[in-house]
Chain A
């Protein structure tokens, strides 16, 4: 009987331990390549960096590249980096939740610059203006400075580490020369469109998501002389330019049949695979996918090229963003965190980082490097220099862009509706909810 009780007690303890095994710790990796290879001596201070790559994966070029940068930083400063790995799509959530508890698990975090407004609205980020004042930003490209600035108070809350833009990727087997205007897009598209044989002329991610607006709805609107928001963050997409943009987007699908229904439901990766498999002739996509595109069969054969987004009468302005370094508002070591940021914005580090990141550097002098004159980089850099724009200054950024994208999707699904009325109603609803006006 006693043995049975002991066995039962052990079993219960085992169940308890097993069920709590998923808690705590999480994805923190204390044993990192950095710690195992770190040089001794120096300040002995430890900086916790939250990032999305696996430091123990030697097959991942990003991991290998970033760890080399960390090693160098540790040798130069004596500051040790402790990495906390979180999946890329959970990093901001984890940052918000842990920071709100007053005890963030990191001193510095990689975040997507698109999430700036949402993160600041959640009180998550430390304003960096005092730190920026000590930094020479004369060599920064303007887009990097704009992306760091929160529309609500004009303060800077992050430092972009690389720049990604959007543009038109095209398959030269199907489209020898890219379109520059909407009319050319339709003309070229109609020549190659062949849905019966599984080839669509054009694809773009089109669900009711904020990235749909970033990808092409905003560029189309800007190229048609319209805007999405006012300086005070209120919605202003009930204008003629926005109406023209959404009408054209709808016509691409409904009038000309150049876009398939999969644009509504497929993920960006699925649309990209369709493009790389030769089922789509032209794809609007982020330049962050450059490495994957060039590793594909078509990419390796040199049959995929990059061009600016076609606008109403010429190249459309494109939206830019990038992974950025940000300091949690309750960070225990903000000064240490800034030291790492200062290191990362040095020209040689920016060049090294961009090579494994796939984005472009934030320093204009880096563009002179031979590497950025190869592959599609010259076209991407040229587009960035000539056409890059920043999103209208929304405080409720994701909510605003999602509202605008929802109007687009709704109209594309039923073009018999009154688009002008839809835009007016949507803008009014947004302004009433967030501004009481």
Chain B
């Protein structure tokens, strides 16, 4: 008997696919078009200018500065998130009492909007009237440096973004850790391995594909991060936290230079695509390994 394929799944997918088409995929060719054209203010029409926009972008020191900031932010954020996320997940995986409660508490920042998170932390870190300087000032720690000092501002933004997004990483890591069979750990223990040795020699190798996927997902999030940065520092101090996403937003919506913004968006999309391609390949390898 031949089974008739149900059309129901396609119906449920239709709204999402339509929105993705309208707001993500169809505008992409238009962005590419804009990157090779420039608005003539007198005529109000876009005119073909070849590679002029690309040349201007490559010669723009602010673009390179934003590219460096993006790279640095991705590294800082990903390292903090993966290392501390793994640590928290390991603690929660050790069957301590109240795990569900801790997980719930961890998720509270995740459900708060980025704008509110940025605005709240901005007040907490205010250099003159913020509560953190008041609490730690006596210990000689100036917490406000995290948003006022160009040397530390990227770290400050990464910490706030980490605070908000920790739960997401912990859940993913926890799921991966729970796939590591206890039999291996028991066998390692019988062979005389300490807990630390067991982690590095047994858990980590089995768990590494999941860790790679988590790392890549965090990198993808970091590349496009703009909401928290916009509210917390607006790209300051002195452009120290102005990432490509933020520079692009400014060019498009504050300076109304759509051609310049479109050119940058192509670069940003290309970088994202590379990371996503690596993520998909790693995920596929992970699934094949699990199937074995």
Contact A265–B18 (Cβ < 8 Å): no
Task: Name, among B44, B150, B235, the residue most crowded by chain A CB atoms within 10 Å (CB to CB).
Answer: B44
B12, CB-defined interface residue at 8 Å: yes
Smallest CB–CB gap between A249 and chain B, Å?
Answer: 14
Contact B8–A409 (Cβ < 8 Å): no
Contact B239–A208 (Cβ < 8 Å): yes
Contact A265–B122 (Cβ < 8 Å): yes
Task: Name, among B12, B128, B149, B257, the residue most crowded by chain A CB atoms within 10 Å (CB to CB).
Answer: B128
B194, CB-defined interface residue at 8 Å: no
Bound state CA distance, A26 and B8, in angstroms?
32
Q: Given the known A-B contacts A119-B256, A198-B129, are A8 and B12 also in contact in the complex, defined by CB atoms under 8 Å?
A: yes
Smallest CB–CB gap between B219 and chain A, Å?
Answer: 28
Contact A410–B18 (Cβ < 8 Å): no
Contact B256–A265 (Cβ < 8 Å): no
Chain B residue nearest to A5 in the complex (CB): B8
Smallest CB–CB gap between A142 and chain B, Å?
Answer: 26
Task: Name, among B11, B125, B150, the residue most crowded by chain A CB atoms within 10 Å (CB to CB).
Answer: B11
Contact A123–B39 (Cβ < 8 Å): yes
Contact B127–A399 (Cβ < 8 Å): no
Contact B129–A262 (Cβ < 8 Å): yes
A16 contacts which chain B residues (CB < 8 A)?
Answer: 14-15, 18
Contact B15–A398 (Cβ < 8 Å): no
* A37-83 interface with B by 8 A CB criterion: none
B111, CB-defined interface residue at 8 Å: no
Chain B residue nearest to A273 in the complex (CB): B129
Bound state CA distance, A93 and B237, in angstroms?
25
Contact B255–A262 (Cβ < 8 Å): no
A184, CB-defined interface residue at 8 Å: no
Smallest CB–CB gap between A331 and chain B, Å?
Answer: 12
Contact B12–A208 (Cβ < 8 Å): no
Instruction: Report whether over half of chain B's contact residues are helix, strand or loop; otherwise say mixed.
Output: loop
Contact with B along A1-35 (1 / 0, CB 8 A): 00001001101100110011000000000000000
Smallest CB–CB gap between B202 and chain A, Å?
Answer: 45
Bound state CA distance, A9 and B14, in angstroms?
11
Taking a contact as CB atoms closer than 8 A, the residue among A19, A264, A329, A399 that contacts B44 in the complex is: A329
A406 contacts which chain B residues (CB < 8 A)?
Answer: 238-239
Contact A261–B12 (Cβ < 8 Å): no
A431, CB-defined interface residue at 8 Å: no
Contact B11–A123 (Cβ < 8 Å): no
Smallest CB–CB gap between A192 and chain B, Å?
Answer: 15
A134, CB-defined interface residue at 8 Å: no
Q: Given the known A-B contacts A265-B122, A433-B60, are A260 and B41 also in contact in the complex, defined by CB atoms under 8 Å?
A: no
A421, CB-defined interface residue at 8 Å: no
Task: Name, among B15, B125, B258, the residue most crowded by chain A CB atoms within 10 Å (CB to CB).
Answer: B15
Interface size on A, residues (CB 8 A): 47
Contact B41–A120 (Cβ < 8 Å): yes
Bound state CA distance, A11 and B8, in angstroms?
11
Taking a contact as CB atoms closer than 8 A, the residue among B16, B19, B44, B237 that contacts A265 in the complex is: B237
B78 contacts which chain A residues (CB < 8 A)?
Answer: none
Contact with B along A259-270 (1 / 0, CB 8 A): 011101110000
A409 contacts which chain B residues (CB < 8 A)?
Answer: 236-238
Smallest CB–CB gap between B142 and chain A, Å?
Answer: 9
Chain B residue nearest to A429 in the complex (CB): B61
B59, CB-defined interface residue at 8 Å: yes
Bound state CA distance, A265 and B235, in angstroms?
11
Bound state CA distance, A353 and B13, in angstroms?
52
A190, CB-defined interface residue at 8 Å: no
* A262-318 interface with B by 8 A CB criterion: 262, 264-266, 274, 279
A390, CB-defined interface residue at 8 Å: no
Smallest CB–CB gap between A179 and chain B, Å?
Answer: 22
Chain A residue nearest to B44 in the complex (CB): A123
* B13-34 interface with A by 8 A CB criterion: 14-16, 18-19
Taking a contact as CB atoms closer than 8 A, the residue among B19, B122, B148 that contacts A261 in the complex is: B148
Bound state CA distance, A398 and B255, in angstroms?
7
B254, CB-defined interface residue at 8 Å: yes
Contact A398–B254 (Cβ < 8 Å): yes
Contact B44–A262 (Cβ < 8 Å): no
B129 contacts which chain A residues (CB < 8 A)?
Answer: 198, 262, 274, 279
Contact B12–A15 (Cβ < 8 Å): yes
B40 contacts which chain A residues (CB < 8 A)?
Answer: 123
Contact A8–B8 (Cβ < 8 Å): yes
Contact with A along B238-259 (1 / 0, CB 8 A): 1100000000000001111110
Q: Given the known A-B contacts A329-B44, A429-B61, are A265 and B12 also in contact in the complex, defined by CB atoms under 8 Å?
A: no
Q: Given the known A-B contacts A8-B12, A124-B256, are A207 and B234 also in contact in the complex, defined by CB atoms under 8 Å?
A: yes
Taking a contact as CB atoms closer than 8 A, the residue among B42, B44, B257 that contacts A330 in the complex is: B44
Instruction: Using A122-B39, A265-B127 as known contacts, list a sample of 7 further A-B pairs with CB atoms less than 8 Å apart, ordered by residue number in A.
Output: A12-B12, A99-B44, A122-B41, A207-B236, A265-B233, A398-B254, A410-B150
Interface residues of chain A, those whose CB is within 8 Å of chain B, are 5, 8-9, 11-12, 15-16, 19-20, 92-93, 96, 99-100, 102, 118-124, 195, 198, 200, 207-209, 260-262, 264-266, 274, 279, 329-330, 398-399, 406, 409-410, 413, 429, 432-433
- 20 residue pairs A–B, Cβ–Cβ below 8 Å: A8-B11, A9-B11, A20-B19, A96-B256, A102-B44, A118-B255, A118-B256, A121-B256, A122-B256, A122-B257, A123-B39, A123-B42, A198-B129, A208-B236, A209-B234, A265-B147, A265-B148, A265-B233, A266-B126, A330-B44
